[in-house]
Amino acid sequence: MFIEKTQYLKGKNLFRFINDRATPQGRTITIDDRALLNFSSNDYLGLASNPDVVALVKLAVEAYGVGAGASRLLSGGTTLHGELEEELAALKCTQRAVLFSSGYHANVGAIQALAGAGDAIFSDELNHASIIDGCRLSKAQKFIYVHNNPSHLEEVFQAASITSKTGIKLVVTESVFSMDGDIAQLDELQGLCKKYKAFLYVDDAHGSGVLGKYGEGGLAYFGIKPDNNIIQMGTLSKAFGALGAFIAGTAEIIEYLINTSRTLIYTTAMSVPDVAASLYAIRYIKEHDEILVALLQRALYCRKLLKSAGFDVPLIETPIVPVILNDIQKCLNVSAYLKEKGIYVPAIRPPTVKTPRLRVSLSCNHRMEDIEYLVNTLSDGFDRCQ
């Protein structure tokens, strides 16, 4: 049965396989004994293998060991966990923060805990799979609004008030959308949430460490000071270069999640290396905010070059640059051509996205000539590949 299903995926060009690298994460990586320019990583600030961070992590491991050994509510946490939560709360300008073992755990666990029977969730149609699964597991009513469209959200709000009497209303959006790189209109969404007395849940996975002077995230980008109705989720596996996630908000919300979120209560705590790496990464960014400037410069440079080459990309300040194709086979062919020329940009296909694409991810460690080579090679690939 599963062989037949696998053959079906292969027939539709939807079969996936794992490519493991033999080197640290970075500007270049080695796969199958080939050095490749890496445009596929979420390590936006190059902190996953930063020597200063790595040295401090080694000291933390010597002091605390490696594995957590238990859930956070038992003996899995260390004083480093508490320090990191304090740093994250300060970064996000909230009263408290609490750690989760991954972004998936955070979204699934928090959303189903925050909204239950008698409540309502309003979710952007292009939200991440972890958000979708959190909504599915919740017993709340679900309403979907058109991607990044506050006007349609208001229409949905008005319709929902007629069709249902709800308790908690929870609007869920990414700040920077992971496959499109566009920025949610958080200022307008917050205005609507105030108007309709709803909570705003911001998945800031790709905004944290990217937007704001010190990587404060999407709210800082819009100059929004977190109110009591705003809940921020962030990951530590992207710009911060480690693994794990957190929810930041009021003390009341965080205490509630500690007592109700199943993915927090019943999961082993974050490991010491990841906690230490995240903690030192946040402190590193504060002392070296020039790396955020460098990242945004490279993102805009890449977008401008792609636009000049005829690609339809918006000139926005995020390091996720989708190059949309309408054909899965061509997407695979162009990706293979890039790899042949020493560039790693895997094809992104359904069901991850509706429209196949090459998702280009920029890092502050990319050189301008790397970006020029990428765009020139990509243009050649589009002309050559069918």
Residues 6 or more apart from 190 whose CB is under 8 A from it? Answer: 200, 224, 227, 230
203 in active site = yes
Instruction: Name the nearest CA neighbour of 209 among 173, 180, 246, 172.
Output: 246
**Rounded to an integer, what distance in angstroms lies between the CA atom of residue 193 and that of residue 186?**
10
Cis peptide before 351 (omega within 30 of 0): yes
Q: How far is CA 140 from the centre of its chain?
A: 24
Which backbone phi and psi does 124 adopt, to 5 degrees? -60, 140
370 in active site = no
- Which amino acid is located at 270 in the chain? M
To 10 degrees, the CA torsion angle through 60, 278, 292, 355?
A: 140
152 in active site = no
Q: Which residue reads 């408290």 in tokens?
A: 96
Catalytic residue among 92, 105, 128, 169: 128
Catalytic residue among 85, 203, 204, 274: 203
Catalytic residue among 38, 40, 42, 271: 42
Catalytic residue among 81, 92, 238, 366: 238
Catalytic residue among 43, 87, 174, 204: 174
Instruction: Name the nearest CA neighbour of 354 among 320, 318, 385, 325.
Output: 325
Question: Which residues are designated catalytic?
Answer: 42, 128, 174, 178, 203, 206, 238
